[in-house]
Amino acid sequence: MTSELIFPGLTTDMSFIGLFMNASLLVQLIMVLLLLISVVSWALIMQKSRVLNKASSDSEAFEDRFWSGIDLAKLYTDLSSRRHAPSGLEALFQAGYREFARLRNQKGTSPEAVMDGTHRAMRVSNSREVEKLENNLSFLATVGSVSPYIGLFGTVWGIMNSFIALGSVKQATLAMVAPGIAEALIATAMGLFAAIPAVIAFNRFGNRLQRIETRYDNFLEEFSGVLHRKAHSGPSATMTAE
């Protein structure tokens, strides 16, 4: 649609492409920047959604296997024989069991010392796994908070240029200033377009990440209880999660 439909005799193209092409260089750069930010933000949203979905499903599958009554030594051997490094609860379990076995095989190590070392190893592994899941979430928070201001800056600049141009005109009309204002307002719209999905995704991912982290913490404590019973039992006893 062109502005001729609104202001007879005015031939400025009021389509998005036309407004972009007629905008000042700075406003054009701001629009391109916001478009790139939006594309990167959406790519990150889809990638992070897949990561969190996989973390949730992997945790559920591993917990089902862990509580099935399987010999934990066999479970540890199976995880260690895989080509790819374990992640999530698998990494937490592997770190805890490895440290537990190492300390337990050391002569003169008390059960309390064994459990202290095991618990520390699992805490470190837990922190690393949570940190992996949190990776790049800060970018979404930055996009959500900064993008509207970037767009607003482009709007202010475009409107300022429109009014400066009117200074050389004896009689200003709405038809003369409308295209410049429309060009400028597109920058604000693009800023909101980039910010709103980022804010929604950041809040949603934050809630999901909190639930996953709670699940990791609960497993850590439950696994610590299993290891604690093993540490105070005979060395020949078979260890399961029952």
Quick one: pLDDT band at residue 68, thresholds 50, 70, 90?
confident
Rounded Cα distance, 139 and 36, in Å: 13
Rounded Cα distance, 75 and 30, in Å: 54
Contact yes or no for 181/162 (Cβ under 8 A): yes
Res 7: pLDDT? 38
Res 13: pLDDT? 54
pLDDT at 11 over 80: no
Beta carbons within 10 angstroms of residue 9's beta carbon: 7
pLDDT at 229 over 90: no
Averaged pLDDT of the chain: 83
The mean per-residue pLDDT over the stretch 146-172 comes to: 78
Percent with pLDDT over 90 in the chain: 45
H/E stretch holding 5 reads: none
H/E stretch holding 240 reads: none
pLDDT at 28 over 90: no
H/E stretch holding 124 reads: helix 111-134
Rounded Cα distance, 57 and 156, in Å: 47
Beta carbons within 10 angstroms of residue 28's beta carbon: 17
Domain residue ranges in the chain: 25-231
pTM score > 0.75 for this model? yes
Res 141: pLDDT? 93
Contact yes or no for 186/28 (Cβ under 8 A): no
12-23 burial, b if ≥16 CB within 10 A, otherwise e? bbbeeebbbebb
Rounded Cα distance, 160 and 182, in Å: 12
User: How many helices (DSSP H) and strands (DSSP E) are in the chain?
Assistant: 7, 0
Q: 92: closest CA among 120, 57, 134? A: 120
Q: 92: closest CA among 224, 225, 220? A: 220
pLDDT at 91 over 70: yes
Rounded Cα distance, 149 and 183, in Å: 16
Rounded Cα distance, 55 and 164, in Å: 55
213 burial (CB, 10 Å; 0-12 / 13-18 / 19+) is middle
